[in-house]
């Protein structure tokens, strides 16, 4: 049996998802993309899992697509990469994982690596990370979400500066424009991302997922659509066992142990 392209490990309520093609700088071939989609599906389905942490084995996060493997697979309807039971990690088929995803990046983070950051919720980068959205240099356009999310997240000028030139930029620029939320010493990015993930996982999971979903709805359909959904969501959450646990912890000044029900 060959090594998996994506490793999957459980750490309490966390699912650690590791890109595992270090000899190719974690270039994404079809097998890696499919295994990553299956890992996202596992995260979404299992009620015991509350947060995903995506990282990379080796020195680099990803050098982008393995075009030699991927290009022949792109048909009239695009790239079919999500097997049964999987969820599109970049959310480009209209589905999104319902739980928060952390990213820990280092070394080289090109093209689909940036797009995975844009599709994730919190990104921690080693200070030595180098980014580039360089599809225009390969005579294609970004098709993992950069054209739809980059400008919305970082502003039009910032997005065009990097998408239209294909130039490389560093972790501090990625932090300045908002792709990255924290920059840390090289080698500590996974530890820091996992620490944040554990903090999220300690909160009431249904409330975390509802917060994430409502914020996404506001981005996708506007503030009014999200505001309309809020009262019903609040009523639903107040009827959960976790709401009772939270109120009891508040009254007794104790630490709540949420159960996700």
DSSP-derived letter for residue 57 is S
pTM to 2 decimals?
0.94
- Half-sphere exposure (Cβ direction) of 150: Cα atoms closer than 13 Å: 23
CA-to-CA distance for 207 and 140, rounded, in angstroms?
Answer: 40
Q: At what angle do helices 205-221 and 241-252 cross, to 10 degrees?
A: 110
pLDDT digits (tens, 9 = 90+) for 96-146: 999 999 999 999 999 999 999 999 999 999 999 999 999 999 888 998 999
Which residues touch 189 (CB under 8 Å, ≥6 apart)? 55, 104, 105, 106, 124, 125, 126
pLDDT confidence of residue 1: 59
Edge-to-edge strands, sheet with 14-19: 6-11, 14-19, 51-56, 101-105, 122-126, 182-184
Helical (H) or strand (E) element with 217 = helix 205-221
DSSP 8-state assignment for residue 157? H
State the average pLDDT for the chain.
94
* Residue 251 predicted with pLDDT over 80: yes
Classified by CATH at the fold level, domain 6-202 comes out as 2-enoyl-CoA Hydratase; Chain A, domain 1 (3.90.226)
The CATH H-level superfamily of 205-252 is Lyase 2-enoyl-coa Hydratase, Chain  A, domain 2 (1.10.12.10)
Q: Which residues are catalytic?
A: 115, 135
- Is 21's pLDDT higher than 90? yes
Mean pLDDT to the nearest integer, 207-233: 94
Q: Which of 83, 81, 87 is nearest to 42 (CA)?
A: 87
Mean pLDDT of 152-177: 97
What is the residue extent of each domain of the chain?
Answer: 6-202, 205-252
List pLDDT tens digits, range 24-60: 999 999 999 999 999 999 999 999 999 999 999 999 9
Angle at the Cα of 39 from the Cα atoms of 55 and 220, rounded to 5 degrees: 85
């Amino acid at each position: 049996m060959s090594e998996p392209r994506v490793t999957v490990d459980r750490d309490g309520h966390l699912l650690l998802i590791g890109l595992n093609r270090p000899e190719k700088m974690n270039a994404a071939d079809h097998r890696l993309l499919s295994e990553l989609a299956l890992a996202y599906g596992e995260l979404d389905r299992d009620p015991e899992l509350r947060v995903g942490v995506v990282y990379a084995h080796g020195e680099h996060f990803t050098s982008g697509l393995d075009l030699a493997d991927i290009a022949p697979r792109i048909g009239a309807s695009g790239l079919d990469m999500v097997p049964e039971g999987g969820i599109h990690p970049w959310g480009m088929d209209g589905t999104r994982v319902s739980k928060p995803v952390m990213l820990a990046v280092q070394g080289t983070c090109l093209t689909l690596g940036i797009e995975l950051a844009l599709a994730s919720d919190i990104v921690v980068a080693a200070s030595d990370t180098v980014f580039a959205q360089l599809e225009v240099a390969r005579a294609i356009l970004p098709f993992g979400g950069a054209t739809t999310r980059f400008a919305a997240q970082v502003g039009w000028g910032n997005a065009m500066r990097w998408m239209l030139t294909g130039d490389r930029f560093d972790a501090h620029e990625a932090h300045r424009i908002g792709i990255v939320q924290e920059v840390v010493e090289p080698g500590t990015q996974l530890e820091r991302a996992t620490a944040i993930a554990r903090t999220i996982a300690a909160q009431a999971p249904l409330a975390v997922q509802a917060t994430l979903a409502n914020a996404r709805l506001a981005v996708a359909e506007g503030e009014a659509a999200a505001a309309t959904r809020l009262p019903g969501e609040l009523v639903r959450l107040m009827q959960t066992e976790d709401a009772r646990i939270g109120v009891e912890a508040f009254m007794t000044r104790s630490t709540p142990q949420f159960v996700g029900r």
